[in-house]
Structure 1
Amino acid sequence: MDSTDTGLFGPDSVTWKLHAEPILLLAGLRSLYLQALHPRAMAGVAQNSNYRRDAWGRLVRTANYVGTTVYGTTAEAEEAGLRLRRLHARMTAVDPATGQRFRVDEPDLLRWVHVTEVESFLDTARRAGVPLDDVEVDGYYTEQRRSAALVGLDPETVPGTAAEVAEYYRRVRPELRMTKEAAETALFLTAPPLPWKLSLPARVGLNLGPLRWAYLGVAGTALALLPGWARRLYGGLGLPTTALSAEVTVRALRFALTALPRDWREGPMRRAAEERAARSAALSG
């Protein structure tokens, strides 16, 4: 492995700046609520995933994948993308509306998942107070076309600016709706089972009520951060004050997270990437 390889993006990228923010954990939850509104995408997940039995394991695997594509070496990112493409290539699902079987790696579905994920990262971060100007916003979307290529998309077919993302949402919105699977997934995301290490104390009588209420608040904030049209699909959560309250909450949460010790906020992938970047800078200097 090249000890100076900073991967697909590098220390001068908007991607590294944005993904250094721990508030993106909340953004990931927001993206899942949004993705659930696409009936075919939701069918692909519901018919192929064991997320109900292993919700936290799936969350960890997804976080590791994103971390690898952002902070891993070029070879590590490409290998992670290859594994994901091979996994998706074996999966099919049945369209709940037409009864037709389809592949879960159809470009339209991969594009939906990609756009909702990167838009959630960016929108959540900006509303939490991360300083990003319009040029950086477009730069992030353009950079993330490299991530889209990893899952098998043609980068030229992926929105690469804020205006293109807005236009993409405008085009896809007629396909979105609240289905039984979407409602069940949203309910599961709002009140998932506790990880097993936390569930053990509950079995012996320890009150974990505050932890559950704290997570419920996080989930409620993620829902409130959705675009107004998406909140309305979830049952009319489109009041003007909803977005404002969510922004106040997410800014306070970011402040609390950034106050944590650095070792708590930075994972090993990021630290390893920064060490490679430092070696690269020393050699080039």
Structure 2
Amino acid sequence: MDMSQRPAQGLRERVGTSLFTHVAGPAGRQNRARIHGTPGPRWFGPERPIRTVHGDASMFIGGLSALLLQSLHPRAMAAVAAHSGFRGDPWGRLQRTSTFLAVTTYGTAEDAQRAVDHVREVHERVRGTTAAGEPYHAADPHLLCWVHVAEVDSFLRAHQRYGAHPLDGAGCDAYIADTARVARALGVPAPPVDRASLAARLAGYRPELRATPQALDAARFILREPPLPWIARGPYALLAANAVRMLPPWARAALGLRAAPYVPQDLVRLSGRALTGTIRWAMGALPPREEPAGPR
């Protein structure tokens, strides 16, 4: 390496390592090696769209947008507020979620099923009552389906807008079909398998959605009170602005969100592309994933 390139490479490695550690946790490197390096059949081969989407930096924006959208179901939000510990341990929750996505997307079929079984056990124990007196159970297939479709829609929207390699129409449908494999394992009956059925399922939930005080509190925490050092809050604010702009207009209105209202949408989108490109550049400094040769 040229001596003049070393400072930039050092910065790239520091930023990439910091991002990876925050998202994957202190055991991230060991988990990554196990997930990608363990031989055995996978649920999804290397050519599947789910690997393209879940491996892209656009997930940083898609994940934030998904959390905001998911919060609009009162029973789902009540379960999160009472049982997830998102305020007390937000990084831990993020790391558990990212590890689950990595295992089910890239890991062996055995490890993926084990991860799903663990989540189902946790869901079975999560029960309670909303402030309005409505009972909830995290294993309720109706709530599971809401969480799934809100997540898939958000991830795909983000990828199509900010991803390095947006999918064509058939690829989008194939991504939704891939995620349906995981959803069925988690207990979602007949999850959507293409864009039309995903849009129809989301529309079917609209009458149930509203911004409860818990949802508004979660939005404030996610957007205005992130547990980050001050130096990282500027880039995070750009991620958040893009995540909010990506929400359906009715969801933004319900949450009372006006992301950068005086900034042109094209400029917000440009900032999102620049930031995801920077994240992609920094994460590229991580050692390559070592996947076993042979049948997948």
Classify the TM-score, shorter chain: 0.7 to 0.9
Q: Deviations over 1:4-46 (max 9, x none)?
A: 4241111111111222212212211110011011111101111
Give the Cα–Cα distance (whole angstroms) in 2 for the partners of residues 19 and 265 of structure 1. Answer: 18
Partner of 1:109: 143
Seen in structure 2, the aligned counterparts of structure 1 residues 33 and 89 have a Cα distance that, compared at 3 Å, is same
Aligned counterpart for 2:85 among listed residues 34, 50, 69:
50
Q: Secondary structure at the match of 1:264?
A: coil
Q: Secondary structure at the match of 1:219?
A: helix
- The AA in structure 2 aligned to 1:228 is P
- The AA in structure 2 aligned to 1:169 is L
Give the Cα–Cα distance (whole angstroms) in 1 for the partners of residues 145 and 92 of structure 2. Answer: 24
Q: Secondary structure at the match of 2:131?
A: coil
Structure 1 spans left out of the alignment, 5+ residues: 196-207
Quote the offset at 1:251 in angstroms: 1.8
Q: Secondary structure at the match of 1:93?
A: strand
Partner of 2:185: 150
Give the Cα–Cα distance (whole angstroms) in 1 for the partners of residues 283 and 81 of structure 2. Answer: 38
Partner of 1:181: 214
**What does 1:173-252 align with in structure 2 at a 5 Å threshold?**
173-194=206-227, 208-235=229-256, 237=258, 243-252=265-274
For the Cα contact (< 8 Å) 1:15–1:70, is it kept in 2? yes
Give the Cα–Cα distance (whole angstroms) in 2 for the partners of residues 210 and 260 of structure 1. Answer: 16
Which deviates more from structure 2 when the two are superposed, residues 215-224 or residues 39-48?
215-224
Aligned counterpart for 1:93 among listed residues 124, 128, 133:
128
For the Cα contact (< 8 Å) 2:50–2:105, is it kept in 1? yes
Give the Cα–Cα distance (whole angstroms) in 2 for the partners of residues 103 and 80 of structure 1. Answer: 20
1:279 corresponds to 2:279: no
Quote the offset at 1:80 in angstroms: 0.2
- The AA in structure 2 aligned to 1:217 is L
Give the Cα–Cα distance (whole angstroms) in 2 for the partners of residues 260 and 149 of structure 1. Answer: 35
Aligned alpha-carbon RMSD (Å):
2.4
Partner of 2:194: 161
Q: Deviations over 1:28-79 (max 9, x none)?
A: 1110011011111101111212111101111111100111110110000000
Partner of 2:105: 70
Q: Deviations over 1:212-268 (max 9, x none)?
A: 2322222222111111221121226497976544432222223222333624386xx
- The AA in structure 2 aligned to 1:253 is L
Aligned counterpart for 1:125 among listed residues 146, 159, 164:
159
User: How high is the TM-score relative to the length of structure 1?
Assistant: 0.83
Q: Secondary structure at the match of 1:85?
A: helix
- The AA in structure 2 aligned to 1:13 is R
- The AA in structure 2 aligned to 1:112 is W
Partner of 1:259: 281
Seen in structure 2, the aligned counterparts of structure 1 residues 240 and 158 have a Cα distance that, compared at 3 Å, is farther
Number of residue pairs the alignment of both structures matches: 259
- The AA in structure 1 aligned to 2:227 is L
For the Cα contact (< 8 Å) 2:244–2:257, is it kept in 1? no
Give the Cα–Cα distance (whole angstroms) in 1 for the partners of residues 214 and 173 of structure 2. Answer: 33
Give the Cα–Cα distance (whole angstroms) in 2 for the partners of residues 241 and 173 of structure 1. Answer: 29
Give the Cα–Cα distance (whole angstroms) in 2 for the partners of residues 4 and 54 of structure 1. Answer: 33
User: How high is the TM-score relative to the length of structure 2?
Assistant: 0.80
Partner of 2:72: 37
Partner of 2:31: none
